Structure 1
Amino acid sequence: MRDTKESRLLLVLLVVVAFALITVDIRGGENSPLDRPRQAAQSAFGPVENAVAGAVDPVGNAIDAVRDSGGRSRAISRLERENEALKTQLGSKDITRNRAAELDSMLKTAGAGQYTIKGAQIIAIGAAQGFSWTVTIDAGTKDGIARDMTVINGDGLVGRVTTVGPATSTVLLANDPDFTVGTRLEGSMELGFATGEGNRPMRVQLLNGKADVHKGDRLVTFGSQAGKPFVAGVPVGRIVSIDPSGGNLTKTVQVQPFVRFTSLDVVGVVVLGPRTDPRDSVLPPRPTPPAKPKPTAKRTPNGKPSGTPGSTPTGAPGGTSGVNPSGTPNGTPTTTGVEDYNVTIGRTDSATRNSPTTTSGG
């Protein structure tokens, strides 16, 4: 509509009428003459108002959600931090328990071999200085660690120290292909050399090609001069297979290490070896085989245990019903002089005829 004098006059007139109606409605109170027109308008335009409100409310809710999103985000972040703190607390308790158990096992091993050890923790793994199987421990020269010291845990041989820093050291693990250690077979004391094979069992070459070895036999370290790089008596592993000798002067066996190199955590560096070779004393005791059940005597239909003295063999050659093999009627006690219930059936040679026989009943 154009901005003309007529339009301006109409606008002013409408405003005056609106004010007049508002004044009449307010002064009328509950008996306002505009109640009926208002009700009619509400009935007519109420559905339209609801529809418009339904369309506009989601937009309003979205605006409110955006307005409140900052506070909700902060609350969610706080709850997530509390949840992570609880998980860390629970996890730290499990880690503490596991480390305490590993430390206890390692101290028992060190006590059995009379090893003086310095405890350390694995803080890094990876290829260091060209080695493929190495770990870094949190102990160095400040802790009395030196190069070529034996590293153990509660299960046995872990490796040896190769490089040392002020606060950390690098350990070459026993399953590394560049790792070699002298071994001694449990019991027979046969000597050999074990070499790491990565994830596979270690390869041990016994110096005696005719050594009597079996699956399950265990090996320990032979030891080095002055205990470096290896102290004696540390458990190495268990034989899992024996390679064909093929007439060689040496014999090769495959040995599964006692140590699980993929789950190392707490280790001990042997800073002082034992005064005497502990030999096999560090090895854990072998499991006791279960006791065999005692055989029970089978009973015959007449209630007598089978295989007991005085029972009559069935189907004996030359025997008749009611007659013992020696020709004596049943019921007559007979002593043949044979020990351990070894009975000879159907023999009529002179040795049998001349055997002493005592018959009661005349």
Structure 2
Amino acid sequence: MLFRYIVNKYVLGFVALVVLALILISYTGRDRANLTPVERIIKNVVTPVEQGVTTVVEGLRDTFGSVFTIGQIRNENEDLKRQVAVLESENIQLKEYEYQNLRFREMLNFKDTLSADYDTLSASVVARNPSNWFKTVTINKGESDGVRKDMAVVTSKGLIGHVINVSGNSAEVLLIIDNSSAVGGLVQVTRTPGVVEGMADNSGYLKMNYLPKEANVREKQLVISSGLGGIFPKGLPIGRITEVEIESNGLVKYAIVRPFADFNRLEEVLVVREVFGEDILTPSGGGE
């Protein structure tokens, strides 16, 4: 311990002398052309030490500068990530507004085409029955808006169902794809009547029953509501025939109908509150 103290003491003293010598050389050498032999010796001894110290100091400066730069870059990177997340969220919202605007425009155009013959009310789907037994949706319009039980409900694509329960500000709609639903249907081009029902296999397709065996019913023909039964007005588009078969009893035929409406994407609908005319809707695509 004592030896280390003595060594440190002499080392510190030596360093102090070297520093003092350098100061004196620098100060006194300003007015002289050449250094003295002693000064040259000290200079030669001290120069490598100076270079080593300079290298260490510059290395430490570069290291601390790099650490500071890395930290700054990391902070800027986090800020950029937050800005990107905000922009992505805003972009998603703008896209949703754009899609919603397109749906509203399509619905308003359809509402305008109905205005001469139907009194309709716009509504939004706010809930869906998750049960496999009953296919219903809830809309945000009810008795206070003039909605009544058994009113037909449509989208711009076609018929989707009718109101079965009404409260003050909402109503429940039974979809035509529910197997308990039945709609009086009509093959538009041949005027062949039948009953359109939901299928129990949850396929989303419809079955048009009780078609006469000799009826000229074929694939791709359009089916509209017949107006029979007192619930659904005549002429509402229902769907297109995809298949025609004879019943097992051999007496009548049935047709499988693909509905025009997409029941997995119901968002905006129209409630038909009053009918002024009949058989006035003609689905796009004609009779064949």
Quickly name the TM-score band, shorter chain normalised: 0.7 to 0.9
By percentage of residues, which structure has more helix? 2
Please state if 1:102 is matched with 2:102: no
**In structure 2, distance between residues paired with 1:104 and 1:248:** 45
The structure showing larger relative contact order (alpha-carbon pairs under 8 Å, at least 6 residues apart) is 2
Please state if 1:120 is matched with 2:123: yes
Gaps of 5+ in 2: none
SS where residue 261 of structure 1 aligns?
coil
**In structure 2, distance between residues paired with 1:261 and 1:153:** 10
SS where residue 282 of structure 2 aligns?
coil
1:176-197 per-residue CA deviation (whole Å, 9 max, x = no partner) reads: 2232212123254333211113
CA 1:127 to 1:29, structure 2 compared with 1: closer, same or farther past 3 Å? farther
Q: Which of the numbers 211, 214, 219 marks the counterpart of 2:218?
A: 214
Q: Which of the numbers 219, 241, 262 marks the counterpart of 2:243?
A: 241
**In structure 2, distance between residues paired with 1:209 and 1:90:** 50
SS where residue 177 of structure 1 aligns?
coil
Superposition RMSD in Å: 3.7
Matched residue type, 2:124 = Q
Shift of 1:270: 0.8
Matched residue type, 1:149 = M
Matched residue type, 1:24 = L
CA 1:250 to 1:164, structure 2 compared with 1: closer, same or farther past 3 Å? same
**In structure 2, distance between residues paired with 1:285 and 1:9:** 104
Look up the match of 1:27: 27
By percentage of residues, which structure has more strand? 2
1:266-319 per-residue CA deviation (whole Å, 9 max, x = no partner) reads: 210111133x5x23x312365599xxxxxxxxxxxxxxxxxxxxxxxxxxxxxx
**In structure 2, distance between residues paired with 1:144 and 1:284:** 27
Shift of 1:204: 0.9
Look up the match of 2:10: 10
Look up the match of 2:261: 259
SS where residue 269 of structure 1 aligns?
strand
| Worse overlay, 72-81 or 264-273 | 72-81
What's the TM-score, normalizing by structure 2? 0.76
Look up the match of 1:53: 59
Matched residue type, 2:17 = V
CA 1:8 to 1:40, structure 2 compared with 1: closer, same or farther past 3 Å? closer
Gaps of 5+ in 1: 290-362
Identity of aligned residues (%): 20
Matched residue type, 2:130 = A
Asked if the contact 1:107–1:154 (Cα under 8 Å) also holds between the matched residues in 2, the reply is no
1:319-362 per-residue CA deviation (whole Å, 9 max, x = no partner) reads: xxxxxxxxxxxxxxxxxxxxxxxxxxxxxxxxxxxxxxxxxxxx
CA 1:101 to 1:28, structure 2 compared with 1: closer, same or farther past 3 Å? farther
Asked if the contact 1:196–1:203 (Cα under 8 Å) also holds between the matched residues in 2, the reply is yes
SS where residue 270 of structure 1 aligns?
strand
SS where residue 212 of structure 2 aligns?
coil
Asked if the contact 2:124–2:140 (Cα under 8 Å) also holds between the matched residues in 1, the reply is yes
1:123-161 per-residue CA deviation (whole Å, 9 max, x = no partner) reads: 343416952x33332222332222322111222111122
Matched residue type, 1:213 = V
CA 1:154 to 1:57, structure 2 compared with 1: closer, same or farther past 3 Å? same
1:196-224 per-residue CA deviation (whole Å, 9 max, x = no partner) reads: 13335311112534333222332222335
**In structure 1, distance between residues paired with 2:239 and 2:214:** 21
Matched residue type, 1:103 = L
Asked if the contact 1:190–1:206 (Cα under 8 Å) also holds between the matched residues in 2, the reply is no
Q: Which of the numbers 162, 165, 179 marks the counterpart of 2:164?
A: 162
Q: Which has the larger radius of gyration?
A: 1
**In structure 2, distance between residues paired with 1:166 and 1:222:** 31
SS where residue 255 of structure 1 aligns?
strand
SS where residue 27 of structure 2 aligns?
helix
Aligned residues: 278
Look up the match of 1:283: 282
Look up the match of 1:93: 98
Shift of 1:258: 1.9
**In structure 2, distance between residues paired with 1:268 and 1:111:** 12
Asked if the contact 1:182–1:223 (Cα under 8 Å) also holds between the matched residues in 2, the reply is yes
